[in-house]
Chain A
């Protein structure tokens, strides 16, 4: 009896150690990745640096969808609206209070989280198409609310200027590289936090609730609260992405957050694989690369304007259909499942 409990303790201790080890390892992996990004940003031309910043923004935005949909099992068609809340929050705080950019980003996260908590409270009572409808309405309606308040600058929006890069970085240090540094650092930090949260008790609760809500409740999980928490956290991350998106375009306006933004984020999440965070780069890079690839293809086949303007949409849709057909859980999960199967076969 005694010995078995001691055995259990040591087993749990080992698991805990393993968990810590994993966290630490991940941490160093993120540091190394960050260092590579830093080196890379010095090697490539300005356009790639700008695209890199866009990828980082999409990584953050898509990961917030993956957290919400893949882990906690809730659908949101309205993440564009949550991004808008963050963007407006950051811009107003920066313009009115002249706070440093890092604080403006914190404001973005906090404001969007509050919005997400409110939405989440409603969302916890809804599911499936009803939840999709509610969030969709938000995406349609919320950004144009900015037209009602003078402080939000109407249709023209607000200037959101994060300032020039510090002079000690040198005269050659471009504005876009500065954007990239800020966005990439934010992406690395939020991905590290997220990947840890998802492996924590909360992450397990979310997955339990998603798999079988009744079973989760029976095992003592307050699924309602758990869902609201997921929505709040997801909204906070979306708000960060929104603020960073506005940083890259220098302004915040309702038209920067169209319905298509929410949809393309979902597309990115499906391409990444909604149930795993590790594929998020795939979706983000695809969203940024597709228009450029489309451009090249259209030029090669001697395009008319019609082809050039419609090709990106066609390519994204085709990819989406292919992904749903062949890698419904995303390429990363698919690969993992296949290797696991192979390993199992080898064993037997």
Chain B
């Protein structure tokens, strides 16, 4: 008995000793983490597999396409940008694990475009990039809270906040659909509470409000929503949710021949994704939509033209859509910020650039970002459009009219922002 225990003890200690030896060799870093003479490493976590990955899993390919294009044209100050992508399956546990790997093992300089409010929150509280001084650039969520510099000092929003979007929708309703009965479908979490706050600020009254749980949409639940909207006899239905919510709602409405005036938010309204998933273009036709960036089919726009050309070469056969455009736009802004962060960029100098010059970075959107030292608000405006007979979102009357506002009590006004001409070939190096 004793002999056996001793043997056990011996083998256990041998294994542990070996394990600790293997694990101790950590190389020392002279320059900034993730920056070498020839390379800058960035990391991204987002759903690449699973139901939530629909549409969003094109973002890494889009960002890589731009970085590869940039690298082929000299990179940033001679350094190539490498993007390491990890699949978090839209599960917070995975997001934390993968972000840990990116920061502690792959030793990336900054995180780029992580997706999902719950995931970004979990990462903020467990991995705590703020404490580690790691920049979290251009998070893919419109939750207004991430602009709070005190709470998330190293996190930068990019999408217009859901509050802004709701205020712009509210203004459109007041001006164009007054007297109509309006129903709202919203997500029952921070996403939705942002929306409600925006509509309250805009003074929009709803005949019926239908909350949904973000994890549980299906054709059956959508049929339940439609029953409620029908019972309230609303004329306008606002879909303020994620792509899968709009998808089930529109597809089920098509099957049940329910056709109110639709109004769809920007994160849930990408027509390419919706159509690929089975929403007939005819259902989208005449729906009112919103977007911070130019219409993705608008090849007269210099950014859309260049980005779609780059993307078509890098990822042949994949349709250019809103997710791709936003992904490439974030990569484009990242490259400029890195360039402006000096010959030897550091995490600190990168964030200093964003805080002081963030709003002057070239950007395909039709509104500037609102970064200052005290706020990390992303894009500050959206244009209103209608879906065409082929289901594409186009500006009303063919002209982009961008409305701008804030996440507080500020008014919604027509933007006077004139987007500067794109740098030659979309390069600033």
Contact = CB atoms under 8 A, between A and B. Distances in A.
Interface of A: 21, 25, 29, 32-33, 36-37, 39-40, 43-48, 50, 54, 143-144, 147, 154-157, 159, 161, 175, 245, 248-251, 253-256, 258, 260-261, 291-292, 295, 305, 308-310
Contact of B101 (A47, A245, A260, A305): A47
Interface string B1-40: 1000100110011001001100110100000000000000
Contact of B49 (A156, A258, A309): A309
A36 B96 contact: no
Interface SS majority for chain B: helix
A331 B216 CA distance: 40
Interface string B359-400: 000000000000000000000000000000000000000000
A145 to B, nearest CB: 10
B100 A47 contact: yes
Nearest to A153: B189
14 contacts: A45-B24, A50-B100, A155-B118, A155-B214, A248-B96, A248-B126, A250-B122, A251-B125, A261-B93, A291-B97, A308-B85, A308-B87, A309-B49, A309-B87
Given A50-B100, A251-B92, A255-B215, A29 B5 contact: yes
Contact of B118 (A33, A37, A251): A251
B125 A250 contact: yes
Contacts of B187: 155
A48 B49 contact: no
A53 to B, nearest CB: 11
B12 to A, nearest CB: 6
A295 B100 CA distance: 14
B383 to A, nearest CB: 29
A251 B122 contact: yes
B101 A36 contact: no
B121 interface: yes
A40 B16 contact: yes
Among A40, A54, A161, A250, chain B packs the most CB atoms within 10 A around the CB of A250
B93 A245 contact: yes
Contacts of A50: 97, 100, 104
B91 interface: yes
Contact of A155 (B20, B85, B126, B188): B188
B240 interface: no
Nearest to A247: B126
Nearest to B126: A250
B122 A155 contact: no
Given A155-B188, A255-B118, A305-B85, A29 B8 contact: yes
B38 to A, nearest CB: 18
Given A25-B1, A245-B93, A258-B89, 5 more contacts: A44-B19, A50-B104, A157-B118, A157-B121, A309-B49
B229 to A, nearest CB: 20
Give 3 nearest A-B pairs by CB, closest first. Answer: A250-B125, A250-B126, A47-B104
Interface string B115-133: 0011001101110100000
Interface in B24-73: 24, 26, 48-49, 60-61
A33 B23 contact: no
B235 interface: no
Nearest to B213: A147
Contacts of B215: 143-144, 147, 155, 254-255
B190 interface: yes
B92 A45 contact: no
B90 interface: yes
A144 B216 contact: yes
Contacts of B117: 156
Contacts of A44: 19-20, 23-24
A144 B5 CA distance: 47
B391 to A, nearest CB: 28
Contact of A45 (B13, B48, B104, B124): B104
B125 A40 contact: no
B16 A250 contact: no
Contacts of A32: 9, 12
B257 interface: no
B104 A46 contact: yes
Contact of B122 (A29, A249, A261): A249
Contacts of A251: 92, 118, 121-122, 125-126
Most buried by B among A147, A248, A292: A147
Given A253-B92, A255-B91, A305-B61, A36 B23 contact: no
B96 A249 contact: yes
B418 interface: no
B150 interface: no
Nearest to A41: B20
Nearest to A291: B97
Contacts of B61: 305
Contacts of A295: 101
A256 B91 contact: yes
A175 B128 contact: yes
Given A147-B188, A305-B48, A309-B49, A48 B126 contact: no
Contacts of B48: 305, 309
Contacts of A21: 1
Contacts of B190: 154, 156
Nearest to B8: A29
Nearest to B24: A43
Contacts of B216: 144, 147
A310 B9 CA distance: 38
Contacts of B8: 29
